[in-house]
Amino acid sequence: MTGSLINAALIVLAAVAVGVGLPAPSGRVQRRLQVLLAGLTLGLGFHVMWLGLGGTMGQVLRQVGVVVLALMLGRVTGQALGLQETFNRLGRFARARLVGQPEGGTWPAGEVFRAATVVFCLTPLAFVGPLQEGLRGDPRALLIKGVVDGLATLALARTRGWEVAAVALPVLAFQGTMTLVVTGLRVRLEAIGAVDVLYVTSGFLLLATALVMFPILRIRLADYLPSLVWAALLGWWVL
């Protein structure tokens, strides 16, 4: 749970920084940080794929084939479930409460808390990060997410109050629980040969996330999340 703990701590520290009156980084600095984080995510995606692929040439090709098939089936499943539309709807709910103002007043603290929870928990890194840490003890994706969340908290705390730090609790609970569950399943996943395929699939999702962060392409990332389930199933069946 190291990555989730650091992620939550960075949210709290950013909110405290606003609370004690520390100046915000300039827009230019924030843009450079965003590009840097996108680049780190891209590099991490390639590195994860490199670490996950192994064995003879035939084994590597089979792994790649399974991952590509998992991504294809995952996208079809995500579209059938309407995952991206659901995420978009929740995103509009969150944006209205974190950016806009209701007529004749301000949003209640509970509404702001729920909106911030949506923004910080329903992102691809919130799913991929705990998976990678649970599978191989790799917290790097969550460290990147922690910095992204910290920058978001700097902005939100100035407009919605430093109390937005409370969102660190659901972030820690959600991501930490996922990490513990995957850690508990790791032995079984290793027994069916699914760990490497899952790890490589998560690397592909990191690459897609980086392309959206730059931004270069508009990718329906949420629709690809079921690929992680398909990767485990196909790894057991094929490999």
Residue 193 has pLDDT above 70, yes or no: yes
Residue 105 has pLDDT above 80, yes or no: no
46-73 average pLDDT score: 90
Q: Could you give the residue ranges of the DSSP H alpha helices within the chain?
A: 2-19, 27-52, 57-81, 83-98, 109-121, 124-136, 140-160, 168-191, 195-213, 227-238
Which percentage of the chain shows pLDDT scores above 70?
Answer: 98
Q: Are 189 and 135 in contact (CB under 8 A)?
A: yes
91-108 average pLDDT score: 80
Residue 121 has pLDDT above 80, yes or no: yes
158-168 average pLDDT score: 84
Confidence of residue 70 (pLDDT cuts 50, 70, 90): very high
Q: Output the pLDDT for position 28.
A: 85
| Average pLDDT, rounded, for the chain | 90
pLDDT tens for 10-28 read 999 999 988 887 777 777 8
113-121 average pLDDT score: 92
Residue 168 has pLDDT above 90, yes or no: yes
Q: What is the DSSP string of 173-227?
A: HHHHHHHHHHHHHHHHHHHTT-HHHHHHHHHHHHHHHHHHHTTS----GGGGTTH
Q: In 3D, which of 192, 185, 210 has the Cα closest to residue 135?
A: 185
**What backbone phi and psi angles, to 5 degrees, belong to 217?**
-125, 155
Residue 135 has pLDDT above 90, yes or no: yes
Residue 58 has pLDDT above 90, yes or no: no
Q: In which element (H, E) is residue 123 found? A: none
Measure the CA–CA gap between 153 and 161, rounded to whole angstroms.
Answer: 10
45-65 average pLDDT score: 88
Q: In 3D, which of 206, 198, 182, 222 has the Cα closest to residue 66?
A: 198
Which percentage of the chain shows pLDDT scores above 90?
Answer: 62
Spans of all domains in the chain: 2-238
Q: Which sign does the torsion angle of CA 136, 84, 150, 211 carry?
A: positive
Q: Output the pLDDT for position 202.
A: 96
pLDDT tens for 227-238 read 999 999 998 887
Tokens read off for 74? 């995952």
Q: Output the pLDDT for position 239.
A: 59
Q: In 3D, which of 39, 72, 70 has the Cα closest to residue 52?
A: 70
Let me know how long the chain is. 239
For 81, 87, 105, the CA distances from 93, given in Å and listed in that order, are 20, 10, 17
